[in-house]
Amino acid sequence: MDLSYGPEYETFRAELREFLQTRGDEAPGRAGEVASLGGESLVRWQKLLIEHGYAARNIPKEYGGAGAEPDPLIATILSEEFGRARVSRGVAGQGIDMLVPTLLEHGSEEQKRSYVPPTVTGEMVWCQGYSEPGAGSDLAAIQTHGRVEGDTLVINGQKIWTSTAQFSQMMFALVRTEPEAAKHAGISYVLVPMDTPGLDVRPLKTMTGHAEFNEVFFDEVRVPVANIVGRRGQGWKIANTTLGHERNMLGSSATSEGLYEGVVRVMREEQVDGHSALESPVLRDRLMSLQAKTIAMKCHAMRLLGSRLRGESSGVAGLVTKLNGCQLNHDLAGLAIDAMGEGGVLYRGTDRSRENGRWQFQYMFQLGLIIGGGTAQIQKNIISERGLGMPREPKVAASAAKSGVKG
């Protein structure tokens, strides 16, 4: 056990702190809020971060990144210091976090040159077109299909739960292109411009009152065959690389730490019968239970980092973050609401609502994350099957040996 990072890393940290102190004011919004996607202030901030090597750090220079070697310790310092300073980390989301790594691994040179640089700066916003009405956990059951006519792929069908589609210029989609092939072998990974004629985005209002996601309809949508990433019919394998990236994004301990600090603030300030909510033994007991879990998840992230640095597999320990982290975040928001008593029901649009309804929003939003990106039950399948070597679900075993579930 050695938790020191070493002098060269401490120098990096000191420089980053200095930067955040002197330039942090230029960041759009504050950490935790979503700065408007594709917005000018976000793009400007992102470019400044890339220039300093604080964003798109490991993306090669020729594709618009900072071109540094991947280093998990640097990544951890970045996450710690931006979190501490509560400053926006720049562009985040499915484009830079999921599509870019996929294109760098599987894309053609032309695809990389056209799409990676504008995605990295935040000028090009992407959405993920995987789920369909009939294909959620069983993602390989997708029906949206593409027929090849010369150089053109003609797409018909429907996607659903597509986050940020209404703000996106592009979608990376899974489309069935080989109707004769087996379930997992007939899918292609396709890049679709959202302004293509025949493509219709209908926002879906979620329980939070916002349209966090959409339905997307395809009616004879024509895109060049060259927009397929990798070879035709290889899309399932390629999609699984992005799903791996998504699983690492959800349930991060930095989110839990931020929420925990927020709950302490709420409980300190909320008055119940002339005493702060912190003085309620029952609420305080819940707070401490959640603090232990929050610290445990932080230690767990350090442990996984340790395995990565040693080049070891983290085994079953590496499979439990999403399940625990998303549930913890939901519980933290739930405690903040309870600490507010009846005031906990207030939502946006009244001064009486604390932080403009942040906690009710988080409570609902975090529930969405328990479901999205591979449900809690799918996570438990993965943990028991891949982690404990228990038998696979019958369906999956019969149709395809490889991971046949979204997660």
Partner 1 sequence: MDFGLSEEQLLLAETVTRFLDERLPVPRVREVIDGDESIDPDAWRALAELGVTGCLVPETHGGAELSLLDAAVIATALGHGAAPLPFLGSATLATLVLRGAASPAVQSEWLPRLADGSARMALAAAERIEQRQDSGVTFEGGRLQGTALFVIDGAGADAYLVAVGDDVHLVPASADGLAIKALPTIDRTRGLVELGFEAVAPADSFLAVGAALDRAVDAGRVIVSADILGSCDRAISMSVAYAMDREQFGRPIATFQAVKHLCAEMVAAIEPARSLLWYAGHSWDEIPEESALLATLCKAHFSTVGHDLVRIATQVHGGIGFTDEYDLQLWFKRVGLSRQLLGGPEKLNAHAAELQGLA
Ligand X SMILES: Cc1cc2nc3c(=O)[nH]c(=O)nc-3n(C[C@H](O)[C@H](O)[C@H](O)COP(=O)(O)OP(=O)(O)OC[C@H]3O[C@@H](n4cnc5c(N)ncnc54)[C@H](O)[C@@H]3O)c2cc1C
Least distance from C-beta 142 to partner 1, angstroms? Answer: 23
Q: Are 187 and 176 in contact (CB under 8 A)?
A: yes
- Binding characters for partner 1, 19-58, by CB under 8 A (x = yes): ----------------------------------------
Question: Would you count residue 164 as binding partner 1 (CB under 8 A)?
Answer: no
CA distances in angstroms from 387 to 243, 336, 380, 399, listed in the order given = 18, 34, 10, 21
211 touches partner 1 by CB under 8 A? no
| Contact status: 1 vs partner 1 (CB under 8 A) | yes
Q: Which is nearer to partner 1, 34 or 288 (CB)?
A: 288
Among 316, 371, 396, 400, binds partner 1 (CB under 8 A): 316
Of 236, 269, 248, 254, give the one whose Cα is nearest residue 343: 269
Q: Is 302 in the site for partner 1 (CB under 8 A)?
A: yes
Partner from partner 1, ligand X, none binding residue 136, C-beta < 5-8 Å depending on class: ligand X
Q: Compute φ and ψ for 72, nearest 5 degrees.
A: -60, -30
115 burial level (CB within 10 Å; 0-12, 13-18, 19+): buried
Residue pair 90/45 in contact by the 8 Å Cβ criterion: yes
Return the bridge partners of 146, or none.
155
Q: List beta partners, residue 152.
A: 149, 224
Q: How far is it, in rounded angstroms, from Cα 369 to Cα 365?
A: 7
In angstroms, what is the minimal distance from the CB of 290 to partner 1?
10
Contact 229, 191 (CB under 8 A): yes
Judged by the rule CB under 6 A, the positions of this chain that interact with ligand X are 127-131, 136-137, 161-163, 212-213, 368, 371-375, 377-378, 381, 393, 406
Is residue 401 close enough to count as binding partner 1 by CB under 8 A? no
393 touching partner 1, by CB under 8 A: yes
User: Of 205-213, 293-301, 339-347, 398-406, which part binds partner 1 (CB under 8 A)?
Assistant: 293-301
**398 binding partner 1? (CB under 8 A):** no
Q: Which two tokens stand for residue 182?
A: 């087996």
Does residue 247 bind partner 1 (CB under 8 A)?
Answer: no
Work out the burial of residue 149: count CB atoms within 10 Å of its CB; fewer than 13 is exposed, 13-18 middle, 19 or more buried.
exposed
Helix (H, G, I), strand (E, B) or coil at 255: helix
- Least separation in angstroms between residue 384's CB and partner 1 is 4
Catalytic pick among 132, 212, 246, 385: 246
Long-range Cβ contacts of 38-43 (<8 Å, 24+ apart): 38/122, 38/123, 38/124, 38/125, 38/167, 38/169, 42/88, 42/90, 42/91, 42/122, 43/91, 43/121, 43/122, 43/123
CA 150 from chain centre, in angstroms, equals 36
Q: Does 8 participate in catalysis according to the annotation?
A: no
Name which of ligand X, partner 1, none residue 323 binds, using a CB cut-off of 5 to 8 Å depending on partner kind: partner 1
Q: CB-wise, 20 or 370, nearer to ligand X?
A: 370
For 117: left if phi > 0, alpha if psi spans -120 to 50, otherwise beta; the answer is alpha
Euclidean distance between CA atoms 292 and 173, whole angstroms: 40
Nearer to ligand X, 117 or 129 (CB): 129
- Taking contact as CB under 8 A, which single stretch among the options 60-68, 143-151, 304-312, 333-341 is the one that binds partner 1? 304-312
Q: Binding residue for partner 1 (CB under 8 A) from 207, 226, 317, 345?
A: 317
Residues acting as catalytic residues: 246
> By the criterion CB under 8 A, which residues form the site for partner 1?
1-6, 9, 73, 264, 278-279, 281, 284-285, 287-289, 291-293, 295-297, 299-300, 302-303, 305-307, 309-310, 316-317, 320, 323-324, 377, 379-381, 383-385, 387-391, 393-394
